[in-house]
Amino acid sequence: MHERSSVGELADRLRQDLNRYSPGGKLPSSRVLVERFRVSPVTVSRALAQLAAEGLVVTRPGAGAFRAAARSVAAAAGDTSWQEVALSADGAADVVPRTVDASGVLTTLAAPPPGVIEFNGGYLHPSLQPERAMAAALSRAGRRPGAWGRPPIEGLPELREWFARGIGGAMTAADVLISAGGQTALTTALRALAPPGAPVLVESPTYPGMLAIARAAGLRPVPVPVDADGVKPPLLADAFRATGARVLVCQPLFQNPTGAVLAPARRPEVLRIARDAGAFIIEDDFVRRLVHEDAGPLPRPLAADDPDGVVVHVGSLTKATSPSFRVSALAAHGPVLERLRAIQVVDTFFVPRPLQEAALELVGSPAWPRHLRAISTELKTRRDAMTTALRLELPAFALPHIPSGGYHLWLRLPDGTGGTAQAFGSGGEQSLTAAALRAGVAITPGRPYFSAEPPAAHIRLSFAAVAGTGEIAEGVRRLRAAWEELV
């Protein structure tokens, strides 16, 4: 059994047993609990820590764990209805909205109920994360001289240099800022480059978290369609002319959700179009380290081919490690870097130094290339397992592009015919999402990936957040049952 579930189960058992002890009564020792429940000492320690956090037990070093005193009766809830007026007063005049829609982000962050297969996850399953390597890196980092002091505002020079080498071209450590994860870096970049009320060009479809950032900043996302070769240059040029936008946000490599890679012939065109428009490109290079085993040589980041400072590059370690390993880089040439730096300092001060030191330890260790090779092999295996299962169980679902990197597939649902017309018109994706959840599998509807009306109904399925290929096969079978329920 996985360690996390063992901790939860033991905490439940101990919680049930607390009534056997009077307040202040001592619980059995850790050694007794290890033998009684046949779990590890770490599991016992974590379960007791969980109960202590809930205020149910008190732990005393060297003495043991004791049942906490009875809690006092909570005070009666106050009247918070006045907040409805305060939060909405003059809201119509706000350039930057105070109400933020986080639903598109929460879809991939919220853990599904127990027993539900997670096809909606946005991160590697714990079995794929380099937990031992990260733990060792964090331990070594904590012992580095000055590791707990204040870091340079821009980030540790060695870590900035590592990211700069990964970008290539003329990028140097002086062009890089260390940020707290890709979402934070994207937020900083959009705030720096576009004033509230301005249009910002986005790929269609695109990452819902980026759309949420733009709207929360008071920006107007304008869609530019993509195909299997990435954003379409003629439509991009038209969008710049029609809107006067000064920013394009794109994912040239393994785009989310389509998995597309910007074609070699389009790369210089996209750069030229943006430069002619006097606009910046925010390059979200979020899954470069999740390449599949059968992929050919990867194209360089757009920033590597941009000496003129058109591209603001965002790269991150999070997707290839853990959702809690929030270390990323913002890279840019020219005066814009100072604006990025100023906004980041005001918003977050700096990324905690121990985490930066741990990142350096991790990427400099022999475990890092081994981890990347292992997930490259495993992601291809999982991708192939999911595509095979979908073709067998749900052949009506169109899979126009099979990516050679990333962690998900983008499927177009059948056009409405007969009894399915209503199901897969407006709200049809939500109907399938709800039916799938009832069947025991969590999926992501396609609508949140579009900034305007979508051309068809889609779903996104992740193959990285599940335990393995067996769970993928079972999840697709459950999805077929949900589909049959609707048709």
Ranges of beta strands (E only) in 319-365 are 328-331
* Predicted local distance difference test score (pLDDT) of residue 419: 40
| pLDDT tens digit sequence for 237-258 | 999 999 999 999 999 999 999 9
Cα distance between residue 263 and residue 253, in whole Å? 10
DSSP class of residue 304 equals G
- C-alpha 132/C-alpha 447 separation (Å) is 38
> How many helical (H) and strand (E) elements, i.e. helices and strands, does the chain have?
17, 15
Residue 99: what pLDDT?
A: 73
Pick the closest to residue 239 from 215, 196, 270 (CA basis): 270
pLDDT of residue 426: 45
Q: Could you give the domains of the chain?
A: 3-67 (1.10.10.10), 103-128+370-486 (3.90.1150.10), 131-363 (3.40.640.10)
Here the tokens at position 330 are: 């913002």
Where helices occur in 18-147 by DSSP H, the ranges are 30-37, 41-53, 82-88, 103-109, 131-142
Question: Residue 60 has what pLDDT?
Answer: 85
Where are the strands (E) in 46-124, listed by range? 57-60, 64-67, 117-118
Pick the closest to residue 182 from 20, 323, 342, 34 (CA basis). 323
H or E element, residue 184:
helix 182-193
Q: What is the pLDDT of residue 91?
A: 62
Residues of the chain with pLDDT under 70: 1-5, 71-77, 90-93, 98, 416-427
448, 107 Cβ separation under 8 angstroms? yes
Rounded Cα gap, residues 223 and 250, in angstroms = 11
Distances (CA, A) of 65 to 10, 13, 15, 49, 68: 15, 15, 13, 10, 9
